[in-house]
Amino acid sequence: MNQALHAVGFLDAIKRWRLAQQGLSSGKKRRVQSENPVIQALEDSLWVKLALYATFVVSCGVMVLKSASTTSFANEPLKGAVYGAVIAAAAVLMFQVSLQTSCRRNSRVVLVLGGLLVHLACLRLVMGLTTAGHIPEVYRFFFVPFVLAPMLHGVLLGRAVGAFSTVFVTLIGCLFAPAGQALTYMILSLVAGITSVLLAHEVRRRLQLLQAGIYVGAVTLLLGLLLGSLDIAACFGPDAVNHLKVLGTGSLAAFGTAVATALIISGLLPIFEGAFLLTTDISWLELSDLNHRLLRQMQLEAPGTFHHSLVVAALAEAAAEKIGANAPMCRVCSYFHDVGKLSKPGYFIENQHEGAENPHETLTPTMSALIIIAHVKDGVDFAVKHKLNPRIIDVIREHHGDSLVAYFYHKAREQKKQEIDKVDRGLENPEDLPRVDEKNFRYPGPRPGSRESGIIALADSIESASRSLKKPTPARIRALVDDIVRQKIQDGQLDDCPLTLRELAIIRESFANTLRSMLHSRIDYPKDDEPRSSASLRGAAPERDSSRIGRVVSKPLQG
């Protein structure tokens, strides 16, 4: 097998060398996303998933069994273990049925169920230290990290998984609580967990996690006072000083545990993101820095493409916020979606200057289409080389889907008609007629497969088409947006995208509103009748030539 693979690689190298000799290739192997086949097999294996589920159920039963001596199951430890295993099995069933997106990859199963086990292990440790006398019983629940699993899962995987974690660490955790205190633990765990999930949703700054920890600490302390864990009335009695010390220590424990948990999660987020191939809004905002090497290169070598990407980012981000999609992801992916144009920036109309020769005038329509289409593969090449986020690479591949490069396709058909006329007049041989195959004028795909990718694909087409509007009235802008979206749907470009018709209607409205604010009309300033002096003319900034801009952007060579 290895010899066969080496032989295939050697033959590929020879083919690239021959193409390079003919001027048809650079001779270099294109970079591609590569996944270890062993890791991929483990990710998708049903048997691995069943083993993870079984391990979780058994682990929960064993932990409850070992803690039975300090709980209400001291006389019936096996009964407590069975209760723990049954609740854990219910959690697994709920996870598989209701959270199919999160359990699709086995690494996500490890993240969720492993997080629950670590949370329960911390709870068991605190209960054990309290029983051993290392922690006073009055502070028993103030040292419990109630938000460990809920906050971690809420930030990484969303509110639904965070709420799932809150419910089941509460139900299983009640089995670790001492006799008569299970209800107190249940209330504290549920309220603190739900509070952290609500506050840590769509976190865009690490400071928000710290703030969430402070609020959770306040909620835990308040509930502790209401449930009688701390006696605030005794602070006004005869032994007020000692009771105030207890209250102060309890308050410090409640706030300190919650804040410390939030800080630990904040510090470990990059590790979890890298290990489980996840990206939080915090990381997306860090990636949105325009000083990235590729974006700086685009500003210098392809300024028109850079400006186009900024406008697409504004359109996509606003639309994503309207429908609840990942707006920071849309913003960052829009910045990089056309990075492949850096390989041949002069072949794209937005980077061509007035008076400069259009390189497409000397090429056949087929060759021009190949160059335009190649910017997708070149973009993937740049992205892999610079180790961009895999979601960015997906958007680069999908933002044109398998759509048609219509301008050059129609130009090729017109040239073929002219050649047919020459054949009819006997000026050309029928064998010399060029073949015009629509497949040669279509992007390689795949089509957009996520809501964010679909939004960016629509924003890209609409921004390019909006440049040709001479008088961008609200009615014309709305008609343009509706026409582009209708064409995408009819061409099947959104067939693999989970956008609903209602969401598409909201997206169209958002695009129209954003474009109206960008393409609004300017008033005509009155001209000064008196001639200006030569000195003032030299100091004045030249007015922008709107007719020149109109001529440049109206050329139909958008990539």
Q: Is the pLDDT of residue 542 over 90?
A: no
Q: Which residue has the higher pLDDT, 524 or 546?
A: 524
Q: Mean pLDDT throughout 314-342?
A: 95
**Per-residue confidence band for 27, with pLDDT thresholds at 50, 70 and 90:** very low
Distance CA 484, CA 43 (A): 38
pLDDT value at position 494?
94
pLDDT value at position 547?
36
Q: Which of 43, 120, 57 is nearest to 93 (CA)?
A: 57
Instruction: Encode pLDDT of 88-113 as tens digits.
Output: 999 999 999 988 777 788 999 999 99
Instruction: Encode pLDDT of 358-415 as tens digits.
Output: 888 888 888 999 999 999 999 999 999 999 999 999 999 999 999 999 889 988 888 8
Number of neighbours of residue 74 by Cβ within 10 angstroms:
13
Residues 481, 315 contacting (CB under 8 angstroms): no
Q: Is the pLDDT of residue 488 over 80?
A: yes
pLDDT value at position 6?
46
Instruction: Encode pLDDT of 111-144 as tens digits.
Output: 999 999 999 999 999 998 998 888 888 888 999 9
Q: Which residue has the higher pLDDT, 121 or 529?
A: 121
Residues in Cβ contact with 83 at an 8 Å cutoff, skipping those fewer than 6 apart: 64, 73, 175
**Which 3-state string (H, E, C) describes 226-271?**
HCCCCCCHHHHCCCHHHHHHHHHHHHHHHHHHHHHHHHHHHHHHHH
pLDDT value at position 234?
59
Mean pLDDT of the chain: 84
pLDDT value at position 86?
95
pLDDT value at position 99?
87
Q: Mean pLDDT throughout 42-48?
A: 86
**Per-residue confidence band for 67, with pLDDT thresholds at 50, 70 and 90:** confident
Residue holding tokens 């061509």? 352
pLDDT value at position 200?
83
First vs last Cα of the chain: how many Å apart? Answer: 42
Q: Which of 42, 65, 264 is nearest to 148 (CA)?
A: 264
Domains observed in the chain: 38-278 (no CATH), 287-405+442-520+545-553 (1.10.3210)
Q: Is the pLDDT of residue 319 over 70?
A: yes
Q: Is the pLDDT of residue 422 over 80?
A: no
pLDDT value at position 430?
64
Residues 477, 427 contacting (CB under 8 angstroms): no
pLDDT value at position 230?
76
**Per-residue confidence band for 69, with pLDDT thresholds at 50, 70 and 90:** confident
**Per-residue confidence band for 2, with pLDDT thresholds at 50, 70 and 90:** very low
Q: Which residue has the higher pLDDT, 20 or 319?
A: 319
Distance CA 488, CA 414 (A): 24
pLDDT value at position 42?
80
Q: Biggest alpha carbon distance in the chain?
A: 118
**Per-residue confidence band for 265, with pLDDT thresholds at 50, 70 and 90:** very high
Q: Is the pLDDT of residue 8 over 60?
A: no
How many percent of the chain have pLDDT more than 70?
A: 82
pLDDT value at position 310?
96
Give me the residues paired with residue 442 across strands. Answer: 404
